[in-house]
Copies of this chain bind each other. A is one copy, B any other.
Amino acid sequence: MSSVWTQARRAARMNPSIIREILKVTEKPGILSMAGGLPSADTFPVAELKAACDRVLTENPKEALQYAASEGFAPLREWVAQRVQSLGMQVTPDQVLITSGSQQGLDLVGKILCDAGAPVAVETPTYLGALQAFTPFEPIFTSLDSDEQGVDPAAIAKLPHDAPGTRFAYLLPNYQNPTGRVMSLERRQAAVAAAKAAGVPIIEDNPYGDLWFDEPPMPSLASMWPEGVIYLGSFSKVLTPGFRLGFMIAPPELYPKLLQAKQAADLHTPGFNQRVVYEVVRNGFLDEHVPKIRARYKANRDAMAEGLKQHLPPGCEWQMPKGGMFFWIRLPEGLNAMDLLPKAVDAGIAFVPGAAFYAHTPDPRAMRLSFVTLTPPQIEEGVAILGRVLRAALDDIGAESAP
């Protein structure tokens, strides 16, 4: 039957998220899933949110339930402007745009900065959700060489030659999803210097910055180049993702267009949610709450690090994440993470194949493991199962897999 609908050209580029499809499989009961990018639900401050809902609906019900300004709730914008001072940023509340999760920030960035065929540079690998957000606007992605410290400044420096007209470089300096890596101070300075010299502005995405384990995060890229960086932040990892609350901090030059895009996208982020979160955070709650999340996630990381050391066959490689939620494992030659996933699920565990996170040639040997949704004993058990799956696979290909 022929259809009466004609889809936009961009729609042909949009495809179901592999991660989403995988997560559906791993929602089977009994699976020890290290696949999800979900924060631990045990960290959600339920009592505080409940009290704040009650307070907002008692004290300001009509304002909280009415249409509101597209920019966001003014006191929350002020709070954000204050909060990012700890990252070295001096911004005014006028530069803060409240978004429906930082995912929406990526959509708005794509909308006002991406043209069909214009280059956009991303790390290798990079956050899958950003690729999905930018793709409908039909950019040509450039994959920037990256190492255990993140993006290689030399790759940025070459952009005017390799991809002239690059609209921006999308960078995740802190505990990147998927690799968990963090940019050193020197690397940040070098990357920003290269971007300035190349005339390539930066989108800095920082959902995980508060989840540091030993050292607080270094200054943001935005602090080093305020007029050349749009900074994206989120409440999803420090309070709750279920309120869908994020923010962007934009150079004054770009703010009006982002605001118009925001207004066209959903008029405004729910005013009720903004007021409730503001009630929770206004008096320093995060200063006591986030350290608890950090302590919990650090213990989980340690449990996974120990399990990986004990159970994974030789030839597996990984870095110790200094924060965030993820280990990034590179499997021995001959293994393919995507092919292994069904076997892993049969054995009772799940992970995300790394291939999902590449704009171009994926690394078939990479996988992402989250360490925050399981308990340490479950992590131990899950990693032990992973070890057995990998050893069996190595046996199948006849490789060396002695412990």
Contacts and interface: CB of A to CB of B under 8 A. Distances in A.
Q: How many copies does the complex hold?
A: 2
Nearest to A240: B65
A332 to B, nearest CB: 32
A287 to B, nearest CB: 20
A227 interface: yes
Contacts of A101: 266-267
Interface in A1-44: 3-11, 14-17, 20, 36-39, 41-42, 44
Among A118, A201, A264: residue with most chain B CB under 10 A? A264
Interface stretch (A154-162, A252-260, A346-354): A252-260
Contact of A44 (B36, B61, B253, B267): B61
A17 B104 CA distance: 20
A67 B14 contact: no
B267 A244 contact: yes
A158 to B, nearest CB: 17
Contact of A16 (B39, B65, B115, B256): B256
A57 B66 contact: no
Interface of A: 3-11, 14-17, 20, 36-39, 41-42, 44, 46, 49-50, 53-54, 57-58, 61-68, 70, 99-101, 103-104, 107, 111-115, 118, 129, 132-133, 135-137, 165, 167-168, 196, 199-201, 227-228, 236, 240-244, 251, 253-254, 256-257, 260-261, 263-273
Contact of A8 (B17, B54, B115): B115
A8 B15 CA distance: 23
B15 A44 contact: no
A274 to B, nearest CB: 9
15 contacts: A5-B254, A6-B118, A6-B165, A10-B112, A14-B264, A38-B66, A39-B66, A41-B62, A46-B65, A49-B65, A66-B240, A103-B264, A104-B266, A129-B267, A132-B263
Nearest to A16: B260
A42 B137 CA distance: 41
A393 B260 CA distance: 34
B273 A270 contact: yes
A17 B260 CA distance: 8
Nearest to A137: B8
Given A42-B62, A244-B270, 5 more contacts: A11-B257, A37-B67, A50-B57, A104-B265, A133-B265
